[in-house]
Copies of this chain bind each other. A is one copy, B any other.
């Protein structure tokens, strides 16, 4: 996890890509990329999330502490999930659902991300940011006085979603060790990039990609897999994954909207080719026990006919997300 000490922030020039200093986890502050999390971080966060789930009710541990939720792109579960997590910790979530319109960083005034961070971080104890630009959260971290959590920066990363996915897969599978984990849909997404980084600690037997032919798997993903000596293969039909794999994490067929600003009129394509779609009929036909995960929203790549099958883990994944977000916020607010 990236660490920028308050002292060092001043020395980082503004307006260029942040050069984030590394630090051991005791000084951990920002959640910018899954690359900087180690196995102890993941284990500890999963354990704290377990404890939050088992707790009898909300705590008031962080009464009066504030988390600013700054969303330059649309969101349902990430924004409401962090707000629910904050409330369950006794903290307060403030912020904006559409920074690209309602804040001074909008198209009219164009306040820089660095100034926005310098300002907002003097009014809160933690910042959660989603933006369409790669590196947006890291840019904010260079000027922030408080920890910055990357809730999605364009095509780059979404590390807390990856933590949620690992937490939910450990729950569903018992352990990821030795298991075959498939990735369906667009392999270029930010959740995939963060999740591949975290899977290096989990020692799966193999990673199986089922990407639409139009999109290559990004080279950095393949490098991360091979560097960690994980086997991988590519399959042309999701039915193979249903037959062979222990878990499938799905994504929309074409995630091109992920790099679009909030104000863009881009509309995502919704017509997934049939052999990339999971249906109840295919699950039955393949007698699949594969658990199906999805960070959501889905388009049509997982048919609603699956929703009631024991394979469907994607709504349970949302329920579990609250506890992992509580763990992330607890760590962040304890350090700030």
Contacts and interface: CB of A to CB of B under 8 A. Distances in A.
A43 interface: no
Contact of A96 (B97, B106, B268): B97
A63 interface: yes
Interface in A246-288: 257, 260, 264-268, 270
Contacts of A66: 83-84, 87
7 contacts: A76-B105, A98-B102, A104-B296, A108-B265, A110-B299, A115-B298, A123-B321
Most B C-beta atoms less than 10 A away, residue of A87, A109, A123, A296:
A123
B297 A115 contact: yes
Contacts of A92: 87
Given A74-B109, A96-B97, A115-B298, 4 more contacts: A64-B90, A76-B104, A79-B96, A118-B318
The oligomer's copy count stands at: 3
A199 to B, nearest CB: 24
A63 B104 CA distance: 30
B318 A122 contact: yes
B108 A74 contact: yes
Most B C-beta atoms less than 10 A away, residue of A10, A83, A105, A265:
A83
The contact size tier of chain A is 35 or more
Given A74-B104, A122-B322, A296-B115, A110 B270 contact: yes
A177 interface: no
Which secondary structure characterizes the binding site on chain A? Answer: loop
Most B C-beta atoms less than 10 A away, residue of A83, A110, A122:
A122
A64 B58 contact: yes
Contacts of A267: 107-108
A88 interface: yes
A119 B315 contact: yes
Contacts of A319: 122
B111 A102 contact: no
Contacts of A109: 74, 257, 268, 297, 299
Contacts of A90: 64
A275 to B, nearest CB: 22
Contacts of A64: 57-58, 87-88, 90
Contacts of A104: 74-77, 296-297
Given A81-B123, A119-B76, A102 B322 contact: no
Interface string A89-131: 0101111111001111111111100111011101110000000
